[in-house]
Structure 1
Amino acid sequence: MKKILILANNDVGLYKFRKELIQELVKKYKVYISLPYGDYIPELKELGCNFIDTAISRRGTNPITDLKLLRNYRSILRDVKPDVVLTYTIKPNVYGGLACRMSGVPYIANITGLGTAVEKGGILQKITLTLYKVSLKEAKCVFFQNKENEEFLNKRITISNHRLIPGSGVNLEYYSLLDYPKDEMVHFLFIARVMKEKGIDQYLEAAEYIKKKYPKTIFHILGFCEQNYEDKLKEMQDKGFIEYHGMQSDVREFHKISHCTIHPTYYPEGMSNVLLESAACGRPVITTNRSGCREIVEDEINGYIVEQQNSQELIRKIERFLNINYEGKKKMGLAGRDKVEEEFDRQIIIDAYLEEIDNY
């Protein structure tokens, strides 16, 4: 039986966004996964994966730590002897790609977003692009999740075989179309890590303004809170402007009561899973005009697009949404469901991977 090795930086993303692909792979291949231990490792093992505990400093820039990761990957390649390696996120793409290139092992990379280092420019951008150039040169295929990322990298480095896929896609059965709520209160959802680049400041500012003007609104926040926002969230909740629910393992329970998802991110994403899941459930979305978000929203059809870091425009679009009648809101949600069914079914991604893997 052929072997496939998957290099990733966390268990949550691997299980939630690549579970269906893994289920297909274990039918034909012996599958190994290399990543740090986390709560979803037992579930990944249950799927049939062989787990290799691998430490990764996801956001660190210490070259000694990164060289250690490269050595670890080379050691894993020697032990496992995989026929194909799949890599996700920046560090596994870069250092996993380098290890595969040095070892002569075929590999397929997935650019899940270029990261803040590339977007902000400067010396870190130059270093990151150089690492990408070296690590992706011999890749058998590089998957891009949005066209802007694909065009940006291809102008700067040579990638022989690359394909555009619709992000990680969405499981249309798991995120099924939900009845649109008829509650008198209008519920909004923010689902993301509570951090500046995800647009939390704009969401909080809009929540305070709208709640004062439209008392029959509720602004929910779901996600892990970065430490510097803990006091702010407590203050806003005590004043009745928001309801903070922390991390949630199943956001579908909140989609049941929600009327709209607000995702005011300016973080460099590949394709927003938050928006895909919300639209799949039949919920209108309000998000920013940036790659990885605007592909999912047809402005005024299944939601609204706003300028990033613009609280006033966000407030205007929320008000416009509130002034739509019930049937109009519901129609927006149904349009979103139709769009993801046509363009973002996760099976599209699975088929693309199986086609590339079958080449080896």
Structure 2
Amino acid sequence: MQHIALVGTTADAKLGFRAELIKDLVAQGHKVFAFAGDYTDKTRAAISALGAQPVSYSVSRFGINPIQDCYTLLQLVRLFKQHRIDMSFCYFAKPVIFGSLAAKLAGVPYRVAKIEGLGRIFTVPASGDTLRARILRWVQTQLYRLALPACHTVFVLNPDDEQDLITANNIKVKRCINLGGIGINLEQYQPFTASGKIKFIFVGRLLPEKGIGYFIQAATLLRQQGAPAEFVVLGEPDNSPGAINRAQLQKLVEQGIIYYPGRVGNVSEYLRQSHVFVLPSYYREGVPRSTQEAMAAGLAIITTNVPGCRETVSHKDNGLLVPPHDVAALVAAMQQLIQQPGLAEQMGQRSRTMAEKKYDVRKINHTILQALSLHTKQKHE
């Protein structure tokens, strides 16, 4: 039995994206310590129900205060020692950096990092780069330069992240494995051919980088043209600068441009009732989970030809790729599928086939567990 620290930022993300991995690790007889920075009584109970032990620690997800980050580092060193951790498994930027360094300082024998996209700091908006962004990107790259060589295995989700972060910056890592996706439980997303007018759906954080503004612009133009289509938005308003707020969403609903049901717990049911998933993101994604879910539900995909997003689409096969920041191209792609509903259905069928091949959580977790088992084997040799 190994004591494994699964270190992330939020409890909801752990429950939504790591539940299957936790269950698999527990089933193998390991003791899993689930580290998060925002536990509530409800999420603690949910993590415990999976068989893991919730562990709280202090982490500032988006802050750039070095004192706070040093506190996070020292706290993790103490907690790793307290729980006699044999293996650290860190994901998301700050846990990867400070969790991996803390694991090395604490003497954790085996250390694993999982990079799920390069995130906001590596995202370049349509207005171009800024000096502040370039400085922050340089600082984070230097931190990765310290942390990643301390890991025995680094997982990435797409080849661009390995190239742009590790290879381009000559960061020495012992082993890098491209998982190709985060993985989803395919049984929860059964394909279903929706009827009625073609329905486009956006699912995700309502951030500019995720392309919600471009989706709304396209929906507005198509409404003005009288296109026989519906436009659905799922996602919570975000407090980040430039993010769309609830009042703006309500106004769009009143204008008849979008349907916005607010916070929902049954995303899969909304996907089943839709035809085309649209994600005009320019964010440095890993491989968007929302797109993987839409593919599993049998939807055609329209997304951008940028790192992470382009991994989900074989152009003109299961969907269409458009350039980032190009509303005209996005509208044209949506018009094509409005005019050819049979093509949208065909693309949706191909999406499901691709999801079964590439994004089955059982296959992806098997790859992860094989890597972790190799570490365990080496420990006893």
Residue 219 of structure 1: SS of its match in structure 2?
strand
1:80 aligns with one of 39, 60, 83: 83
Higher mean alpha-carbon deviation, 212-221 vs 338-347, is at: 212-221
Assess if the C-alpha contact under 8 Å between 2:229 and 2:338 holds in 1: no
Within 5 Å, give how 1:11-22 maps onto structure 2.
11-22=11-22
Matched residue, 1:124 = 136
Matched residue, 1:34 = 35
Matched residue, 1:109 = 113
TM-superposed deviation, 1:204: 0.8
Instruction: Give the AA of the match of 1:109.
Output: A
Residue 150 of structure 2: SS of its match in structure 1?
coil
Q: Say whether residues 1:254 and 2:270 are aligned partners.
A: yes
1:218-254 per-position Cα deviation (integer Å, ceiling 9, x unaligned): 1111101125522322221111101122232220110
1:260-291 per-position Cα deviation (integer Å, ceiling 9, x unaligned): 11101111111111111001110101100011
Instruction: Give the AA of the match of 1:57.
Output: S
1:69 aligns with one of 56, 72, 81: 72
1:290-311 per-position Cα deviation (integer Å, ceiling 9, x unaligned): 1111111111111111111111
1:148 aligns with one of 145, 160, 173: 160
In 1, Cα distance between the equivalents of 2:7 and 2:107? 16
Q: Say whether residues 1:226 and 2:226 are aligned partners.
A: no
Residue 266 of structure 1: SS of its match in structure 2?
coil
**CA RMSD, 1 decimal:** 1.4
In 1, Cα distance between the equivalents of 2:10 and 2:358? 27
Report sequence identity in percent. 29
Matched residue, 2:361 = 346
Aligned residues: 357
Within 5 Å, give how 1:1-360 maps onto structure 2.
1-27=1-27, 28-36=29-37, 37-38=39-40, 40-105=43-108, 106-120=110-124, 122-155=134-167, 156=169, 157-177=171-191, 179-183=192-196, 185-227=197-239, 228-230=243-245, 231-325=247-341, 327-358=342-373, 359-360=375-376
TM-superposed deviation, 1:356: 1.6
Unaligned runs of 5+ in 2: 125-132, 377-381
In 2, Cα distance between the equivalents of 1:3 and 1:338? 37
Assess if the C-alpha contact under 8 Å between 2:96 and 2:114 holds in 1: yes
In 1, Cα distance between the equivalents of 2:367 and 2:145? 23
Residue 338 of structure 1: SS of its match in structure 2?
helix
In 2, Cα distance between the equivalents of 1:119 and 1:104? 34
In 1, Cα distance between the equivalents of 2:368 and 2:353? 24
1:139-195 per-position Cα deviation (integer Å, ceiling 9, x unaligned): 010001000001122221111211110221121111222x21121x22111101111
In 1, Cα distance between the equivalents of 2:87 and 2:260? 43
In 2, Cα distance between the equivalents of 1:257 and 1:92? 37
In 2, Cα distance between the equivalents of 1:236 and 1:311? 18
Higher mean alpha-carbon deviation, 142-151 vs 163-172, is at: 163-172
In 2, Cα distance between the equivalents of 1:332 and 1:356? 34
Assess if the C-alpha contact under 8 Å between 1:260 and 1:285 holds in 2: yes
Assess if the C-alpha contact under 8 Å between 2:156 and 2:162 holds in 1: yes
Unaligned runs of 5+ in 1: none
Higher mean alpha-carbon deviation, 110-119 vs 66-75, is at: 110-119
TM-superposed deviation, 1:18: 1.7
In 1, Cα distance between the equivalents of 2:248 and 2:52? 41
In 1, Cα distance between the equivalents of 2:268 and 2:96? 31
Instruction: Give the AA of the match of 2:345.
Output: K
Matched residue, 2:127 = none
Assess if the C-alpha contact under 8 Å between 1:101 and 1:135 holds in 2: no
TM-superposed deviation, 1:215: 4.8
Residue 85 of structure 1: SS of its match in structure 2?
strand
TM-superposed deviation, 1:338: 0.6
Assess if the C-alpha contact under 8 Å between 2:228 and 2:338 holds in 1: no
Assess if the C-alpha contact under 8 Å between 2:206 and 2:236 holds in 1: yes
Instruction: Give the AA of the match of 1:24.
Output: D
TM-superposed deviation, 1:119: 4.2
Instruction: Give the AA of the match of 1:243.
Output: Y
Assess if the C-alpha contact under 8 Å between 1:119 and 1:125 holds in 2: no
Assess if the C-alpha contact under 8 Å between 1:223 and 1:245 holds in 2: no
Residue 307 to residue 139, structure 1, CA distance change in 2 (3 Å): same
